[in-house]
Structure 1
Amino acid sequence: MKLTRLVGECDEGECPTIYATDRGTLAVQGGLVTDHGLNIPPHETLAEIPVDLIRKAIRDNLI
């Protein structure tokens, strides 16, 4: 899968980031959420990112 960085909070690669994939989907890099109480399948996970990151992506017409 090819990822293209759309928006992130820093350039070092270890910060919340939204990527576009070559499959027409989005991939999100963020903090792993473990205290959610949901029944998440083993092949999925939850990542937490700042709301402002989504706002910036929308404002900049990236998504």
Structure 2
Amino acid sequence: MPIIPKPSTAPSTRSEELRSFIFLSVVMAPVLAVLTVAGYGFVVWIYQMFAGPPGS
């Protein structure tokens, strides 16, 4: 029977939480916003390749 190590449950420190918040708000939120807009633009571009431009 393998020995399963107990997960560490040490509380995070204030500096770790601040670093995580800054990473999420300064890096991840803009990256996700750009990827979302770029993905939508790509989907519209591919759709228009098959369906034609609007009004045609």
Higher helix share: 2
Q: TM-score range by the shorter chain?
A: under 0.3
Higher strand share: 1
Q: Which has the larger Rg?
A: 2
TM-score, normalized by length of structure 2? 0.23
